[in-house]
Structure 1
Amino acid sequence: MHENSPKSLRQHLLKQRSAFAAEQNYAQIQANLIEHLNQLLADQGDYWESLALYWPIQDEIDLRSTLLSWAKNNPDRSLTLPFARPDKHLNFYQWRQGDKLLPSKHGVPEPDPNNAARPPINPDCILIPCVGWSSSVVDGKTRYWRLGYGGGYFDRTLAELRKKNPKLVCIGVGFDWQKLDDAQWSAQTHDEPLDMLLTESELLR
């Protein structure tokens, strides 16, 4: 059973994710999740010109090679990585394999915002790693929610970007075992919902 405070819950989940990544069947679980991602890209990838990924840290699943393949299939497609602003919002800059990245204060490799060859882009789709996740029914519709690292960067950014682009698609990336019930954690009023949730079992919409 997870502790009730968000901080201790995150610590427990991150420790559990580290142990999970060391298990023998982890490679197959990763492959299953990436298979669902490939199916999503085959079904909907032509609708997106720019897709935001994350640089994996702390045993987050690595989707880079899959997304690089998606981008290489069409010269009009681009990948972006987030850059954390001092006001705790994110900007997204174009990223290509081999680009030099800068370490953020959180230890996450980020694009150089002063690199004129890599312009800022508002992505059409954002993939967001989850520390934990939950679902709830709102007005007869199932919504999915992300428990992150606690900084609030993605929630602030999604609220801002959705005003500019109502068609923005936000996809959480996690594992089945990370699902939380209301006794463990529930979304707050400032939390932004996810449009989809990708796990090793399925793509939840």
Structure 2
Amino acid sequence: MHENSPKTLRQNLLQERAAFAAKQDYAQIQADLIDHLNQLLAEQGSSWQSIALYWPIQDEVDLRSTLLAWVKKAPSRTLTLPFARPDKHLDFYQWCQGDKLIPSKHGVPEPDPNNATRPLLNPDCILIPCVGWSSSVVDGKTHYWRLGYGGGYFDRTLAELRKKNPKLVCIGVGFDWQKLDDAQWSAQTHDEPLDMLLTESGLLR
């Protein structure tokens, strides 16, 4: 069981993820998750022009090659990476393979906001890594929630971007075992719901 402190919970989950990633069957589990992403891109990818991905850290699933392949299928498609602003919001800048990235204060590789060749973009779809996740049912509809690293960057950003683009699709990326029950963690009023959750078992909508 995880302790109830969100900080302790995150630490425990990150330790579990490191152990999970070291297991022999991890490559197959990661491949299963990516297969489900490819299926989603085949079904809905043509309706998106820009997808925001993340640079994988601390044993997060690496989706870069899958999304680079998606971009190559149409010249109008772009990928973006998040840049953390001092006010704890994220901006998304175009990213191309081979771009030089700069480490954030948290050690996450980020795009250079001063690179004039890589514009600031509002993505149509955002893929967000989960440290943990949960679900709840409200008025017969299932909502999915993300436990992140605790900075609140994505929640602030999603609230802002959804006002500009009501069709924005936000997808959490995680594993089945990361699901948390109410005794472990429950979403707070400031938490933004996910539109979908992607795990090795499939896509939860």
Residue aligned with 1:154, SS = helix
Residues 93-151 of structure 1: CA deviation (Å, up to 9, x unaligned) = 00000000000000000000000000000000000000000000012100000000000
After the TM superposition, which parts of structure 1 deviate over 3 Å for at least 4 consecutive aligned residues? none
Residues 63-114 of structure 1: CA deviation (Å, up to 9, x unaligned) = 0000000001100000000000000000000000000000000000000000
Which TM-score applies when normalising by structure 2?
1.00
Amino acid corresponding to residue 125 of structure 2 in structure 1: C
Report the Cα offset of residue 57 of structure 1.
Answer: 0.2
Report the Cα offset of residue 157 of structure 1.
Answer: 0.0
Report the Cα offset of residue 43 of structure 1.
Answer: 0.1
Aligned to 1:95: 95
Aligned to 1:77: 77
Which residues of 2 match residues 103-122 of structure 1 at below 5 A?
103-122=103-122
Amino acid corresponding to residue 188 of structure 2 in structure 1: Q
Aligned to 1:5: 5
Aligned to 2:191: 191
Which residues of 2 match residues 14-163 of structure 1 at below 5 A?
14-163=14-163
Amino acid corresponding to residue 127 of structure 2 in structure 1: L
Question: What residue ranges of structure 1 are gaps of 5+ in the alignment?
Answer: none
2-side partners of 1:188 and 1:71: how far apart? 35
Question: What residue ranges of structure 2 are gaps of 5+ in the alignment?
Answer: none
2-side partners of 1:73 and 1:95: how far apart? 16
1-side partners of 2:3 and 2:55: how far apart? 28
Identity of aligned residues (%): 86
1-side partners of 2:10 and 2:91: how far apart? 25
Residue aligned with 2:94, SS = strand
1-side partners of 2:105 and 2:139: how far apart? 40
Residues 157-196 of structure 1: CA deviation (Å, up to 9, x unaligned) = 0000000000000000000000000000000000000000
Which TM-score applies when normalising by structure 1?
1.00
